[in-house]
Amino acid sequence: MAEHVRKTDAEGLSELLDVWSNSPGFDSLRRPSVRFEWRTEEGDDLVFNCVFGNWNAYDPYKAMDLFPADEATFAWLGRG
pLDDT of residue 29: 67
- Report pLDDT digits (tens) over 43-59: 999 999 998 877 666 66
Question: In sequence order, what DSSP letters do the residues of 6-49 get, joined into one string?
Answer: HHH-HHHHHHHHHHHHHS----TT---EEEEEEE-TT--EEEEE
State which H helix or E strand residue 50 sits in.
strand 45-52
Tell me, what's the pLDDT at 22?
75
Domain ranges (residues) in the chain: 2-79
- The predicted pLDDT at position 52 comes to 80
Single pTM value for the model: 0.56
Per-residue CA distances from 49 to 24, 26, 56, 67, 72 (Å): 24, 18, 21, 5, 14
pLDDT tens track for 7-38: 888 888 788 778 777 766 656 667 788 899 99
DSSP classification of residue 59: -
More confident residue, 75 or 80: 75
